[in-house]
Chain A
Amino acid sequence: MFFHIVLERNMQLHPRHFGRDLRDKLVAKLMKDVEGTCSGRHGFIVAITGIESVGKGLIRDGTGFVTFPVKYNCVVFRPFKGEILEAVVTMVNKMGFFAEAGPVQIFVSNHLIPDDMEFQSGDMPNYTTSDGSVKIQKDSEVRLKIIGTRVDATEIFCIGTIKDDFLGVISDPGATS
């Protein structure tokens, strides 16, 4: 789920940037550092929407670097257990398939794929129903439900299921019919 929250970070700035554009340089550095990273507590930081405040800079002893505490608004994405997401399949395996929903990877094991779908290996391994009507292969879009998340310090990984009602393939990749 997406959230819009205020986060704080201490940014270090080299003296060569001091001058008229100090604040802009600071913001640019912040964006470069933070956008696209993931923290276990807040989730993936998708985009910075604005700066709330920049505190007083503190000159570090020994070097000329200055540390500014910056408060900024940003959009974060954090998956939760029980959430329903759409994802794109990236890899199909005998043990299940991997899908991606934005920055987060989700694994659906074959135990949580409906029983009537069988694995078929080949150059394009896929899961398909007995009558061939529904097929899950690379680049298919599926709707899945998250049943567990594993949150490390800088990494989030999920497992999901498509065995419930209204879950499963949304659309096939354009190539195959």
Chain B
Amino acid sequence: MASIEPFNRLVKLAARAFYDDITTKGENQPKAGRSDNRGIAVVILDALTRRQWVREEDLAKDLKLHTKQLRRTLRFFEEEKLVTRDHRKETSKGAKIYNAAVAATVDGQKTGREGDEKQKMHTQSYCCLDYAQIYDVVRYRLHRMKKKLKDELESKNTVQEYICPNCNKRYTALDALRLISPNDEYFHCESCNGILVAESDKLAAQELGDGDDNASRRRHDKLKDMLTKMEEQLKPLMDQLARVKDLPVPEFGSLQAWELRANAAGRVGNGELNANDPSKSLHGLGFGGTPMPYVGETKVEVAFSGTDEKGDVKSVNTNTPMKVLPPWMIKEGMNLTKEQRGETKPEAKMGGSLTTSELSDDKKSANVQDEEKNIQV
């Protein structure tokens, strides 16, 4: 699914715009310096754009973060409706199924979890970015910000609030009937009979400067200023939103569905080279014990219904082509894709693929070629 990239960019822009000063420390621990971890939210969101469903412990290990901190931030994101989380009880076996699924999609991630817990049921937590909701949430946030500023600017239709300075009780203008007093012309609190104070505009603080006629104009100017600055600073985000508007949203589905798909696709894609591949694969355990050797990506030719998405995802994550088998290796009756025969042009197009994944790929393709030799022999 080539359309994941604009969405990832949207997530990154939104993270930097709105969440770059989120700290997971409570307000009563104002530690600065070493333990100040503001901005960690951006790092976490960026990491999530490069993964799909990921176990939280693994993410913490990758990012070198404390699990608790990560969890707190993820909980915050869950409340902001940016990520979906799934918690389920798993044995170590189940954990391996997940690991296999991950390996089938992501570039050579060697996850740990080598069966240290025998058969205990642990609650594992997984999380994944929810792109559809992110798009809506960001748009709603922008809309509310603009609306708030515009309303204050025209000071229209805001329901006035009143506070009692003695007992801090709050009233709105809708309670006005109960608040009038027969004696004087002010509103009185119902409980303590103190004189109520009108709460001023939230955004433009009332400055009791010189002359009241200036104060309202200054408020007005300040609000206008805020509005223009906001428009200008959020322009890249709004442009990205416009670009993403018509694209189909990347959808990973629930954790179970994603795992099934990932494992199935992984198995099919590597079906041709399916041999007793040694522990090159992940922990040797997948569905029904089928080994899943990790080979290059981009199954362009494999039109396996239900894994189209899967194939696309894989292609985006690593753009490495299938290795072209040299002609002297090709024998009759070998079930190879066109790419491997080196026939078609997709290979040329993907010639400029990422070099980063090549290192790991080299090792793997070397194994593949070994395999080939085994088969032939």
Contacts and interface: CB of A to CB of B under 8 A. Distances in A.
Given A105-B177, A150-B174, A95 B186 contact: yes
A159 B173 contact: yes
Interface in B163-179: 173-177
B156 interface: yes
A145 B159 CA distance: 13
B174 A159 contact: yes
Given A95-B185, A121-B185, A163-B155, A148 B174 contact: yes
Contacts, number: 55
B216 A107 contact: no
A109 B155 contact: no
Contacts of B175: 150
A94 B176 contact: no
A93 B173 CA distance: 13
A107 B198 contact: no
A165 B207 CA distance: 27
A159 B159 CA distance: 8
B174 A157 contact: yes
Given A93-B180, A95-B185, A161 B157 contact: yes
A57 B198 CA distance: 55
A31 B3 CA distance: 68
Nearest to B184: A94
B176 A95 contact: yes
A7 interface: no
Give the interface residue-count category, chain B. 10 to 19
Contacts of B186: 93-95
Contacts of A96: 173, 176
A125 interface: yes
B158 interface: yes
A83 interface: no
B359 to A, nearest CB: 65
A148 B185 contact: no
B198 A109 contact: yes
A21 interface: no
Nearest to A118: B212
B160 interface: yes
Nearest to A108: B173
A121 B175 CA distance: 23
A95 B159 CA distance: 13
A22 interface: no
B187 interface: yes
Nearest to B186: A94
Interface string A92-110: 0111101000000101011
A5 interface: no
Contacts of A125: 185
B185 A147 contact: no
A38 to B, nearest CB: 14
A160 B240 CA distance: 40
A164 B156 CA distance: 8
Nearest to B216: A115
Contacts of B180: 91, 93, 98
Nearest to B174: A150
Contacts of A94: 185-186
Interface in A43-96: 91, 93-96
A14 interface: no
A112 B177 contact: no
28 contacts: A91-B180, A93-B180, A94-B186, A95-B186, A96-B173, A96-B176, A98-B176, A109-B160, A109-B173, A111-B155, A111-B198, A112-B155, A112-B160, A125-B185, A147-B156, A148-B159, A148-B173, A148-B174, A150-B174, A150-B175, A157-B176, A159-B159, A159-B160, A159-B174, A159-B176, A161-B157, A163-B155, A164-B156
Interface of B: 155-160, 173-177, 180, 185-187, 198, 216
